[in-house]
Amino acid sequence: DVKVTQSSRYLVKRTGEKVFLECVQDMDHENMFWYRQDPGLGLRLIYFSYDVKMKEKGDIPEGYSVSREKKERFSLILESASTNQTSMYLCASSQDREESNEKLFFGSGTQLSVL
Amino acid sequence: GENVEQHPSTLSVQEGDSAVIKCTYSDSASNYFPWYKQELGKRPQLIIDIRSNVGEKKDQRIAVTLNKTAKHFSLHITETQPEDSAVYFCAASLEGIKAAGNKLTFGGGTRVLVKP
């Protein structure tokens, strides 16, 4: 069974702090994603990566950066946390198929509160 | 970019009744439409998907229909049970293009409550 593990379930940070959210998957998936989930807005894609050291902006990349130094690990970085980044953050991974989509496997989420 | 609208935002049904959730998308090139279910406190999981070369797909009590001309697709749950209570998300993407094809755009979600 695929496991996508996020390092923290709950995080509380101060405005201006640098925040790291870590995600690890154990199924050798090429693709990894960071979404944020807010009520009524669904899941919005922040960044994704389809290979080591590769990254692509999603729909809401402002205020975030990512790092993928190893295939199994995808990190989301908030350079200077702000209160509007309080949200549930979900990591996901999938196999890469050029002709067809493979299903996303999600982590259990990190609820980040920025005070 | 793609925009996906989902309605209703909440849906309350009596156990045994049917539930229907509708989504519209903006990019006529989109060709892959999955549905994810998120139970309370749990991670989203894929429950069914449809590709643009078919108009309907069924899996036991759930079915999805797609109208490419109108750019909308729907999830139908029949004979609802309490375990169907969850938030459901529709999504759309374009398959066949590396990286772009794996990028899903989600709708805002529908909270379904099945009353016993």
- Of A31, A26, A46, which is closest to residue A87 (Cα–Cα)? A46
Query: In degrees to the nearest 10, what's the CA dihedral of A106, A95, B95, B40?
Result: -10
To probe the interface with A, which of B25, B43, B53, B97 has the most A CB atoms within 10 Å? B43
Give the pLDDT of residue A115.
Answer: 96
Q: For a pLDDT cut of 90, what percent of chain B falls above it?
A: 80
Instruction: Please indicate whether, in this complex, the C-beta atoms of B103 and A44 are within 8 angstroms of each other.
Output: no
Instruction: Please indicate whether, in this complex, the C-beta atoms of B44 and A104 are within 8 angstroms of each other.
Output: yes
Q: How many CA atoms lie within 13 A of B115 on its CB side?
A: 4
Ranking A24-38, A97-111, B50-64 by mean pLDDT, the lowest is A97-111
Give the pLDDT of residue A100.
Answer: 65
Whether A77 and A65 have beta carbons less than 8 Å apart is answered as: yes
Look at the block and give the residue holding tokens 């949200």: A87
Using CB atoms, which residue from A44, A50, A107 is nearest to B43?
A: A107
Six token digits for residue B58: 């069924």
Look at the block and give the residue holding tokens 């529709």: B90
Whether A25 and A93 have beta carbons less than 8 Å apart is answered as: yes
Average pLDDT of the segment spanning A92-107:
80
Residue B94 or B72, more confident: B72
